Amino acid sequence: PDSLSYFSIDAVKPERVKTYELGYRATFFNKIYLDASYYFSFYRDFIGYKIGADLEYDPIYKSPTEIQVYRAATNAKDMVSTQGFSCGISYFFKKYYSLNGNYSWNKLDLRGSDDPIIPAYNTPRHKFNIGISGRDIASSKVVFQNLGFSINYKWIEGFIFEGSPQFTGYVPTYSLLDIQV
């Protein structure tokens, strides 16, 4: 239609990424396991969205009479980078019990770009888990032999989720407690 003539976007190209990653994994005293890593990624043609609108304007009442909003997938014109860090640790105590936790930090960097792309990164900046678990727990009662359990607390910082138009919005900070037997 003629209304689309002002809303021109190039065809979407596949994203290209170069990533540098550095990690460390170690075992201490055969009871503590550590796994940490850092990454830095450079994207060309990062896929995101652009929003546009066509307006029909009534000059007499000085207000729009018709509005058509568009949202289309497109590639970023500038380089986009992301970086992140994660660290996980597990401590095994007694025979089959463990305490474990992990933390991750992720960041999108548009490098001061004036490109109006909406990046659809959909990743919280901070999140962590902490938990305790046990397996093959012996019991004097036959019914409870080979029992296992896990209790895990998870916290996720709020972030903007940018999906299709009807599924775009702010996901508030939340936490979960999972218990499994």
pLDDT tens-place string over residues 97-140: 999 999 999 998 876 677 777 677 888 999 999 999 988 776 65
- Do the Cβ atoms of 102 and 88 come closer than 8 Å? yes
What would the pLDDT profile of 50-91 be if each residue is shown by its tens digit?
A: 777 777 877 787 777 788 777 778 888 888 889 999 999 999
Average pLDDT value for residue range 36-41 = 96
- Do the Cβ atoms of 105 and 40 come closer than 8 Å? no
- Do the Cβ atoms of 132 and 97 come closer than 8 Å? yes
- Do the Cβ atoms of 124 and 106 come closer than 8 Å? yes
Give the other-Cβ count within 10 Å of 107's Cβ. Answer: 14
Beta-bridged to residue 171, according to DSSP, are 159
